[in-house]
């Protein structure tokens, strides 16, 4: 479901990537039509009238009534971006490093709010309990009003952590020390005792019941105003300007989903299917 790491390899990812749950991809080109500047260009258009927040540390954050969704941004924002992540998934790390800054731009401008649901299926596939412990720690950070900052720190260090023992209790506490005023008896005790174990379990269950696959849709999964960014659009998630443009378009020009994005998605998927068939014939 992704485009252009290499044409043949990416084509095969299109066919099987979603079944793997955590799979990667990237590339930058987005949908455009004659007379339509496309999503990246529209990002330069006027921002929302409300005053911007100056930093992500200022963003409001709360637990939704369902008990599993962490909501970030202006609660009155008209647009919503739903994000499903597993803390140990390397493709989530790639999304957070590459495309997610485009989402944060929309949060700071009050254009959108983000709704995070956290999975922990990577523990079952890789062994250990690092995802569960990381999700518990993120919930503990939310209790201290530090979710956004701690979330950023975890993914900034995810690759090095995964290559050197994973998200252990001590490593999670060490990373928390990088967030001003997060460490303290309440946070440290919650991390050490897995205080939010029930939240971790319920969040994984919420992830698994999203979409048609009983195993869950894979991570990262992103849905903008009810529109899943998947298939031939998935590669847009790994480009900051493409994400920024997509969020902007579906906020101000929702008709572009059917006018531009869906035709582009079909075009990309047709190209990838043709590439996969050609590669299969050649082998």
Q: What is the pLDDT of residue 250?
A: 97
| Residue 16 pLDDT grade (very low, low, confident, very high; cuts 50, 70, 90) | very low
Q: Cα(224)–Cα(146) distance, rounded to whole angstroms?
A: 24
Side by side, which strands form the sheet with 61-63?
61-63, 70-73, 112-118, 79-85, 221-224, 227-228
Contact 150, 138 (CB under 8 A): yes
Nearest to 81 by CA among 250, 259, 258, 236: 250
Of all helices (H) and strands (E), which one includes residue 82?
strand 79-85
Q: Which residue has the tokens 């996969």?
A: 276
Structure tokens at 139: 């919930």
Looking at residues 67-91, what average pLDDT do you find?
A: 97
Contact 266, 34 (CB under 8 A): no
Looking at residues 184-192, what average pLDDT do you find?
A: 98
Q: What is the pLDDT of residue 280?
A: 85
Q: What is the pLDDT of residue 3?
A: 33
- Is 148 or 278 the better-scoring residue by pLDDT? 148
Q: Cα(239)–Cα(95) distance, rounded to whole angstroms?
A: 8
* CA 195-199-201 angle, 5° bins: 110
**Average pLDDT of the chain to the nearest whole number:** 87
Contact 224, 246 (CB under 8 A): yes
Sequence-distant (6+) residues with CB within 8 A of 202 are 67, 68
Contact 185, 100 (CB under 8 A): no
Q: What is the pLDDT of residue 282?
A: 83
Q: What is the pLDDT of residue 97?
A: 98
Q: Reply yes or no on whether the pLDDT at 177 is more than 70.
A: yes
Looking at residues 183-212, what average pLDDT do you find?
A: 97
Contact 243, 100 (CB under 8 A): yes
Structure tokens at 210: 């999203």
Looking at residues 133-150, what average pLDDT do you find?
A: 98
Q: What is the pLDDT of residue 48?
A: 41
Looking at residues 73-78, what average pLDDT do you find?
A: 96
* Residue 190, SS3 per DSSP: helix
| Residue 91 pLDDT grade (very low, low, confident, very high; cuts 50, 70, 90) | very high
- Is 36 or 258 the better-scoring residue by pLDDT? 258
| pTM of this structure | 0.85
pLDDT tens for 36-51 read: 544 444 444 444 456 8
Q: What is the pLDDT of residue 88?
A: 97
| Residue 277 pLDDT grade (very low, low, confident, very high; cuts 50, 70, 90) | confident
Q: What is the pLDDT of residue 30?
A: 58
Cα radius of gyration rounded to whole Å, the chain: 19
Q: Cα(230)–Cα(14) distance, rounded to whole angstroms?
A: 10
Q: Reply yes or no on whether the pLDDT at 178 is more than 90.
A: yes
Q: What is the pLDDT of residue 50?
A: 67
Options 3.40.50.300, 3.90.230.10, 3.40.30.10, 1.10.10.10; CATH of 51-262: 3.40.30.10
Q: Cα(55)–Cα(47) distance, rounded to whole angstroms?
A: 16
Looking at residues 256-282, what average pLDDT do you find?
A: 93
Q: Reply yes or no on whether the pLDDT at 79 is more than 50.
A: yes
Looking at residues 267-274, what average pLDDT do you find?
A: 94
- Running DSSP on this structure, what letter comes out for residue 238? G
């Amino acid at each position: 479901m992704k485009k252009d790491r290499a044409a043949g390899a990416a084509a095969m990812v299109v066919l099987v990537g979603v079944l793997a749950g955590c799979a990667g991809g990237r590339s930058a080109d987005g949908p455009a039509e004659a007379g339509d500047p496309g999503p990246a260009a529209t990002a330069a258009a006027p921002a929302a009238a409300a005053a911007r927040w100056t930093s992500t540390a200022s963003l409001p954050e709360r637990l939704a009534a369902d008990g599993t969704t962490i909501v970030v941004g202006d609660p009155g924002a008209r647009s919503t971006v739903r994000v499903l992540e597993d803390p140990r998934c390397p493709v989530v790390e790639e999304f957070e490093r590459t495309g997610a800054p485009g989402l944060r731009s929309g949060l700071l401008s009050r254009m959108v709010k983000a709704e995070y649901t956290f999975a922990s299926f990577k523990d079952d596939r890789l062994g250990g309990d690092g995802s569960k412990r990381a999700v518990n720690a993120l919930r503990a950070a939310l209790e201290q009003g530090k979710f956004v900052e701690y979330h950023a720190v975890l993914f900034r260090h995810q690759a090095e952590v995964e290559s050197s023992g994973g998200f252990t209790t001590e490593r999670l506490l060490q990373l928390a020390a990088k967030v001003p005023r997060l460490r303290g008896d309440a946070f440290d005790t919650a991390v050490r005792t897995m205080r939010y174990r029930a939240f971790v379990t319920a969040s994984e269950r919420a992830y698994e019941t999203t979409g048609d696959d009983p195993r869950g849709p894979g991570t990262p999964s992103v849905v903008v105003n009810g529109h899943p960014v998947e298939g031939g659009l998935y590669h847009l998630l790994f480009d900051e300007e493409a994400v920024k443009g997509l969020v902007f378009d579906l906020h101000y020009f929702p008709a572009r989903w059917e006018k531009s994005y869906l035709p582009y998605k079909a075009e990309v998927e047709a190209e990838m299917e043709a590439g996969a068939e050609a590669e299969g014939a050649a082998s």
